[in-house]
Amino acid sequence: MRAIRIEEFGGPEVLVPVEVPDPVAGPGEVLVRVAAAGVNRADALVRSGRYHRAGRPPLIPGAEAAGTVAAVGEGVSGFAPGQRVLALDGGKAPGFYAESAVVPATQLVALPDGVDLTTAATLPVAWLSAWYCLRRLARVGKDDTVLVKAAASGVGTAAVQIAAATGARVLALAGSAGKAAWAGEFGAHATVDGSAHPGEAEVEEVLRLTEGRGADVVLDTVGGRAFGLSLREVAQGGRVVALANVALEPSTVDTRDFYPKNASILGFQLTNLQLSGWDPRPDLRELVDGVAAGDYRVPIETVLPLDQARAAHERLESRDSRGKIVLTVAGAGR
């Protein structure tokens, strides 16, 4: 089968199309013919050797996909050949930048009508992360004000919609005026242009928009020095959810910025949550049903064929993209 493999850690140029043996489903596993694979920042970290669970090359990246069942292993029930599914990485190679992948049945969800495979491939990482952080960790409700950082990203556009669907008031912060305005189209009640409000000015703007109170929930996907701002922007008794550190730099925390507020800092990392025994299927089903019902819009900016994984990563790392980037497999259906 055709796959994209990392032979050595490095830049997008190390994503090499190769031919590898077809995988075979073992007990408790399902062989999935991949139609589309989502591209995530975690994939770029794997490629560069900066992801804690990446292992060593050669590696096939890709943590989320959608496709059809090709075969089921011993002991698997509830899935049959030809069935449309979305899949979350179960930690077993190969990854989803490939024509086929073996997936534990516990990492698969059947797709309802009304959700195409390209859209479905974007849900198991960014959307599920936003969903879990807001619905399960922060327990966002209709009386909350939620500040979403990097709101034009895949996680950000998902978070704006998920928070707004609860009835919460949503502030969308993005790195440019154009990105902020675009993120606002997904249900935000106010937007913040980070380029016009750097550093201390960002804090002042968030406080202005919340009448000095701060946000009940801050979803921080940026990390680094920006995380310290999140602690100053959270309200009394609020919750700051640390989802990522795309800044790839240490976050300096002054405890005086949050303990007098009785605020909470909540950490989230999808793969480690899976290792703790969490079953993602109930949350994925609820999320997918919401997409099928039209409750959420999934913005997909770029769709490229599998062999152009390098171009997909270059686009991802340009920081100019809005919404999701997807790789598709020719002839696999949509």
For the stretch 178-195, pLDDT in tens is 999 999 999 999 999 999
Structure tokens at 126: 């960014």
Q: Looking at residue 21, what DSSP letter applies?
A: P
What mean pLDDT is predicted for residues 192-208?
Answer: 96
Structure tokens at 44: 């770029």
pLDDT in tens, 140-152: 999 999 999 999 9
Task: Please name which of 15, 128, 330, 71 lies closest in space to residue 6, comparing C-alpha atoms.
Answer: 15
pLDDT band at 35 (very low <50, low <70, confident <90, very high): very high
pLDDT band at 248 (very low <50, low <70, confident <90, very high): confident
> For residue 225, how many C-alpha atoms fall within 13 Å in the half-sphere facing its CB?
4
d(CA 297, CA 140): 20
pLDDT band at 51 (very low <50, low <70, confident <90, very high): confident
Torsional class of 150: left (φ above 0), alpha (ψ -120 to 50), beta (otherwise)? left
Return the residue matching tokens 């990482």.
125
Q: What are phi and psi of 234, to 5 degrees?
A: -80, 150
d(CA 2, CA 285): 30
Task: Please name which of 308, 309, 322, 300 lies closest in space to residue 120, comparing C-alpha atoms.
Answer: 300
Q: What is the pLDDT of residue 52?
A: 65
What mean pLDDT is predicted for residues 52-56?
Answer: 72
d(CA 155, CA 128): 9
All domains of the chain, ordered by start, with CATH?
2-122+298-328 (3.90.180.10), 126-271 (3.40.50.720)
Q: What is the pLDDT of residue 252?
A: 83
Q: What is the pLDDT of residue 91?
A: 55
> For residue 106, how many C-alpha atoms fall within 13 Å in the half-sphere facing its CB?
11
Whether pLDDT at 256 is above 80: yes
Q: What are phi and psi of 20, to 5 degrees?
A: -135, 160
d(CA 192, CA 173): 5
Q: Are residues 4 and 15 in contact, defined by beta-carbon separation less than 8 angstroms?
A: yes
Q: What is the mean pLDDT of the chain?
A: 93
Most confident listed range (54-68, 115-129, 242-256, 314-328): 115-129
Q: Are residues 93 and 46 in contact, defined by beta-carbon separation less than 8 angstroms?
A: no
Task: Please name which of 301, 326, 333 lies closest in space to residue 179, comparing C-alpha atoms.
Answer: 301
Share in percent of the chain as helix, strand, coil (round to 5): 30, 25, 40
